[in-house]
Amino acid sequence: MGNPLGIICFFLGWIASIVSGFFVHKFLYHHLKKNWLAFLLSLLGMIPLGFLLSILGKLLILKTISGPSDLGGALAIGIGMALFYIFFIIIGLALYLITVIILTIYHWVKKK
C-alpha cells in the first residue's frame, strides 16, 4: 500500500519546481533587465530547490514496509527506494531548469 503523504509530496515537489522556476526567473529578469545574468542567477535557485526536494523526498520514503524480509529483500527495497528518491530529485531539478530555459527563450523572442 502506498504512502498517501508520499504521493502528495511527489506532486507537490514537481509543482514547487515549476512554480519556483517561474517566480525566480521572473523576479530576477524584472530587476536585472539582463537575460544572461538573470538566467545564470536563476540556476542558483537549484540549490535551495534541491534541499526542498530532498526534504519532500524523505517524506516519500517515510513509510516502512511491515513484515519480515530477508537480507536480499531488505537490500532490494533499500536500493529501490534510494533510486526512486534520486529520480524524484533529478526530475524536479530538470523541471526547474526547463521552466527557466523556456522563460529565457520567451524573453529573447519577445525582445526581438
If the chain, 112 residues long, is cut into consecutive pieces of 10 residues, what is the mean pLDDT of each piece?
70 86 84 77 85 81 64 78 85 90 82 68
CA of 25: how far to CAs of 42, 44, 47, 104, in Å?
Answer: 6, 11, 14, 8
What pLDDT is stored for residue 65 in this prediction? 58
CA 5 and chain centroid, separation: 17
Residue span of the structural domain in which 12 resides:
4-111
What amino acid is encoded at 3 in this protein? Answer: N
Cα–Cα dist 56/89, whole Å: 9
What pLDDT is stored for residue 6 in this prediction? 73
Total number of domains constituting the chain: 1
Encode burial over 58-92: b for 16+ CB neighbours within 10 A, e otherwise. ebbbeeeeeeeeeeeeeeeeeeeeeeebeebbeeb
What pLDDT is stored for residue 66 in this prediction? 59
What pLDDT is stored for residue 61 in this prediction? 73
5 burial (CB, 10 Å; 0-12 / 13-18 / 19+) is middle
Full-model pTM: 0.77
